[in-house]
């Protein structure tokens, strides 16, 4: 009789153990990773954050109330967002400091790992883990296409979710054999047209009389997104006329006529496109270019001695 009782008790115990491994499962659901608008000529690294939602389910009764989840990211690094043959390099990381790349056990690198525990009530535990992307700094020649904002992207499909349920000791990611398949997502950035501009002064030499022309030059430095068409206009200054510029005497009492040109021959007055003037034009390469501003003071009646100047605003349109 005792043997029969023990046998029945053993059968009852076996009846409450999980009958199929499939009753314990984990899934992952990632967000897209969007870097938003990116200006390569800014030369700065650009960061973005994504999330992976993880959900694990247990049977009502289990002897393995904890689970080790490992998120593997395959593929070569550095990664590249692309459009056609054009590339924008970036990488994926486990930490906000961008010091630990997101890797994969199959590559001998470190995956993202997290441990979940079965809740006291209910059979499902969920969590969300962050991952971090960073576009590499100093990529000034990344272009736009069609002279318009251009979306670069990459579909990350070399991903996998491995997990292992356990009682006391968590297994390492390399030891996990149960896979829930891939959890691919898309990373993207919009490369925008942009220009940066700076200038140096046009300083004419001192003179006693204006019996002959004085020449001087300055420079405008422009850096525009690769493929970005631009034009640079110069304002009229104190005279209010791009066709008849004047430098005014400090303290008043006189003016000196002068003009600014796009060419060394002083034939094309540089203005805003009105009154017979022209503008400097070009297409950006992503690198800084220096554009010479040619200034000339023609021979004229010499006004009273003093310091004469004008203030010109350079405006770049793209």
- pLDDT tens digits for range 148-172: 999 999 999 999 999 999 999 999 9
Confidence category of residue 23, pLDDT binned at 50, 70, 90: confident
The pLDDT of residue 6 = 30
Q: Tell me the C-alpha distance between 4 and 174, whole Å.
A: 45
pLDDT digits (tens, 9 = 90+) for 303-316: 999 999 999 999 99
213 contacts 296 by C-beta, under 8 angstroms: yes
Instruction: Give the mean model confidence (pLDDT) for residues 182-199.
Output: 97
Residue 192's H or E segment, with its range, is: none
Q: Tell me the C-alpha distance between 15 and 293, whole Å.
A: 90
C-alpha separations of 93 from 18, 101, 173 in Å: 37, 4, 17
Residue count of the chain? 318
Confidence category of residue 178, pLDDT binned at 50, 70, 90: confident
Residue 127's H or E segment, with its range, is: strand 124-135
Domain 195-317: which CATH number of 2.60.40.1090, 3.50.50.60, 2.30.30.60, 3.10.520.10: 2.60.40.1090
**DSSP code for 180:** -
Confidence category of residue 94, pLDDT binned at 50, 70, 90: very high
Q: Which of 38, 17, 307, 269 is nearest to 153 (CA)?
A: 38
What CATH code is assigned to 22-191? 2.60.40
pLDDT over threshold 80, residue 22: no
Listed in order, the ranges of the chain carrying CATH 2.60.40.1090 are: 195-317
C-alpha separations of 19 from 13, 41, 58, 111, 159 in Å: 12, 60, 12, 30, 30
The pLDDT of residue 300 = 97
pLDDT over threshold 60, residue 116: yes
The pLDDT of residue 287 = 97
What SS3 class is residue 209? coil
The pLDDT of residue 179 = 85
72 contacts 159 by C-beta, under 8 angstroms: yes
Q: Tell me the C-alpha distance between 35 and 190, whole Å.
A: 8
Over its C-alpha atoms, the chain yields an Rg (Å, rounded) of 34
**310 CB neighbour count, 10 Å cutoff:** 18
Q: Tell me the C-alpha distance between 193 and 230, whole Å.
A: 10
**Complete edge-to-edge strand list for the sheet that includes strand 79-83:** 25-30, 46-57, 124-135, 86-93, 79-83, 150-156, 185-191, 33-38
Q: Tell me the C-alpha distance between 72 and 9, whole Å.
A: 43
Instruction: Give the mean model confidence (pLDDT) for residues 49-54.
Output: 98
Instruction: Give the mean model confidence (pLDDT) for residues 13-25.
Output: 48
Instruction: Give the mean model confidence (pLDDT) for residues 226-235.
Output: 98
For the chain, what is the mean pLDDT?
92
Q: Which of 183, 178, 166 is nearest to 71 (CA)?
A: 183
pLDDT digits (tens, 9 = 90+) for 233-278: 999 999 999 999 999 999 999 999 999 999 999 999 999 999 999 9
165 contacts 175 by C-beta, under 8 angstroms: no
Confidence category of residue 3, pLDDT binned at 50, 70, 90: very low
**74 CB neighbour count, 10 Å cutoff:** 18
The pLDDT of residue 177 = 80
119 contacts 22 by C-beta, under 8 angstroms: no
Instruction: Give the mean model confidence (pLDDT) for residues 65-73.
Output: 97
DSSP 29-82: EEPPEEEEEE-GGG---EEEEEEEEEEEE--SS-S--EEEEEEEE-S-SSEEEE
pLDDT over threshold 50, residue 14: no
Q: Say which residues have a Cβ less than 8 Å from residue 276's Cβ, sequence separation at least 6.
A: 243, 269
pLDDT over threshold 50, residue 16: no
The pLDDT of residue 11 = 29
Lowest average pLDDT, out of 179-183, 197-201, 277-281, goes to: 179-183
The whole-model pTM stands at 0.85
């Amino acid at each position: 009789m005792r043997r029969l009782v023990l046998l029945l008790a053993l059968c009852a115990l076996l009846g409450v153990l999980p009958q199929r491994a499939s009753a314990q499962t984990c899934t992952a659901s990632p967000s897209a990773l969007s870097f938003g608008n990116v200006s390569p000529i800014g030369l700065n690294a650009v960061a973005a954050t994504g999330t992976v939602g993880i959900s694990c389910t247990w049977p009502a009764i289990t002897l393995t109330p904890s689970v080790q989840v490992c998120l593997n990211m395959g593929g070569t690094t550095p990664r590249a967002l692309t459009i056609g043959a054009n590339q924008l390099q970036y990488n994926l990381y486990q930490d906000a400091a961008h010091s630990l790349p997101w890797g994969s056990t199959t590559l001998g690198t470190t995956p993202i790992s997290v441990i979940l525990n079965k809740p006291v009530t209910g059979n499902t535990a969920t969590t969300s883990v962050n991952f971090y992307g960073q576009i590499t700094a100093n990529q000034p020649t990344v272009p736009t296409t069609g002279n318009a904002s251009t979306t670069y992207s990459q579909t990350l499909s070399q991903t996998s979710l491995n997990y292992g349920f356990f009682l006391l000791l968590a297994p390492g990611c390399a030891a996990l054999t149960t896979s829930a398949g891939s959890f691919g997502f898309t990373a993207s950035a919009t490369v925008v047209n942009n220009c940066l501009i700076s200038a140096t002064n046009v300083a004419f030499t001192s003179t006693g009389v204006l019996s002959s022309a004085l020449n001087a030059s300055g420079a405008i430095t422009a850096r525009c997104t690769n493929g970005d068409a631009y034009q640079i206009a110069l304002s009229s200054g104190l005279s209010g006329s791009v066709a008849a510029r004047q430098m005014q005497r400090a303290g008043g009492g006189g003016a000196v006529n002068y003009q600014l040109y796009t060419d060394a021959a002083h034939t094309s007055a540089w203005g805003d496109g009105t009154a017979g003037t022209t503008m400097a034009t070009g297409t950006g390469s992503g690198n800084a270019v220096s554009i010479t501003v040619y200034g000339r003071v023609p021979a004229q009646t010499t006004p009273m001695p003093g310091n004469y100047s004008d203030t010109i605003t350079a405006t770049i349109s793209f």
